[in-house]
Structure 1
């Protein structure tokens, strides 16, 4: 009966300020498909911070709280549609259905990996989550899956649509399988320019190899971006030869971890303006422009330290004429980093 109530919630009730059933939707979907509720909520939290983005896709073309994906390399949206017998359009926009879709796909992957059975222990779902993510590289997959299990370990709490969602901390020992050894940096260059970054190379078709200092194309700007997706998802996207986009650096929201993907001397394709690409360094920050909570203190401080180092290294003035948002690039169609980005706080950190 509880499950039936969840399925019959109308869009009008979901739009009402007096009725919110997110916690119940996660619990009901977890029970229906025998997926641990901690796992279901942690996957959603790592992907979207429990936000549905009003049916708008991420940069990976992922939809809803469970980030059901529809792109050439990954098809969890289509898989959820087949498993539930529901249309992709409904799965994109109806929150309880999207959560059920994520749970159904996780259970389907688990049974496929385990001879028709579900894992007995929470930690044995690690490889299931890894496959759900759909990233092509094992090291990037581990970044994402480690984050999911860290959320399970530490717990999470957010107010979403007027309701306080709570994921209590749960001790878990992940069984990482083939991902246990997926630690090494990726690409021919194993040492980043920035000393505090890890190195994972963007695909060579997504940037222009150059020697900007030697060619007289002096680096004059630092451009601040927002990923409109997850940290690992953005790294994976820049590795995809079909994306035709990249940035020099990507910064994680939760702890400020920095990954460099394009060497500083090379031209990343991030600004949407070739002249600005040629003369700038692009920094992507994990999060969504319209959603609070992604621009954490750790992210600000880590990014400011990187920008300060870039300014000192390349003689870039530490001011708002040279440290700019993507939205300030001439001809820009993007709004990032958006009104939630605290420029005063950020610049005070850069100039410390």
Structure 2
């Protein structure tokens, strides 16, 4: 059944190739503003690439409510032509794009701009993981293949995928398309991308496909391109599947993820898993420098990485050593978090909120303390029973990792000058298990926010409240609090404060209630009044200075005054009483000492006229 189905799909592709071999009249692009916005947000994506994919898939149409054709080909959605239900054969790339972009499936289906931006965001994420020259569009083949709905394995599937890629690159190479849609000529070689012999077949007007071969009208045979090195479980990853060192899960469901540190190199770990004498394997290996991922065991199989806990876990080895934090790069954390996020959304029932986030996680070993326990699902090798290893160790930042895995939590915004926030149990009830809330308090026109803690009672050392001076969980942390210990008042010197709460999988408590009040900045300047005799005075006299701030203002922080007198020629100050003044009315006064430069008085200002000097200066000593 699949074979017949695939043949009908290829037949459609062949018809497409015949049509595109004729001169094309390019349609108008009603979505150019959305494409321009995508390139503005992700400037590393080559201009024209998004249009090339859209033209190939939909001819710039936003497809939303179409009827299936007689071939039964799965429907695509949006301007970019993404597949929601591949019916077990095509990849569900709409879900994949939603996962990596953070844009909902519904928005991608119904909103043309969000459809384009979601695809662009995902493309950009894959581009950042790309090794080699990112500006060379020849290197983008793997990205386009990953984002396509077409499967990789088998000669016929490989031909179909390369037919899609040929259409994309042909559009990108077409001068008429460049003129019509305003993108530049990119330097690349179709022959280099597809190979000389395969290019003959991909550009042919007639293709003959059998169970074993793909040929053109001249009998040239298509050769497998090996694009199928991409991971079947996680498309952004490469695949170097080991032929040994794994076994069946025997029906045990996957329910946890194990974080390891290699104590060695990325390449070494890949090779070691393929050494049939090592009796060691893991599902994924991650590279420190750029976060590249290689899958070595399928998730459906049991890898050998955590002893007695192998049957229900997915193992991830991270390049580096536990005693050297430099190996734990942001690129590797983020790539690892994206992989874990994909695992949590793959139907195993693993909640991303069950990631070990506790401050003590890095120092704790289950064999010694008996924690964190079974309900924490994403944790280190050191956190499982019956283990002697201590990876990823005390240098692994579990809080940072948690934030990247759970980067799509909804933020509730408050802009009023005062108010109160509570946990989800409200003022009178307990909070819930697996709770995570983010409250952003950002009153208009404030530079200080005062927090008053009305109630704080959470499960000690398991549930935590975090307060940040800023708008995100990566803003400076004011504090983290557990149990019943928290200051009664907290002053935040800034325009925004973010309050985050996390609870684990068991044991709730009354929770928290926190009120806030915003302090508006004092924008009214203080006033100064001077009381002094009127008219000319030739003897000593008293002058009074009065500085005042407005009622409710911030007060007077510093006071300055200057006294000058007129000596019959000009206004000067009494240096012996700590004053200095020079209005530069006449000649340079003797208090000044020229050091470098030609100095004079010019139009009531001190003037230096020697432009050949590079470090001119003049100085006056103060008493």
TMscore range, shorter length: 0.3 to 0.5
Which structure shows the bigger proportion of residues in strand conformation?
2
Compute the TM-score of the two structures, normalised by the length of structure 2.
0.25
Compute the TM-score of the two structures, normalised by the length of structure 1.
0.44
Q: Radius of gyration: which is bigger?
A: 2
Which structure shows the bigger proportion of residues in helix conformation?
1
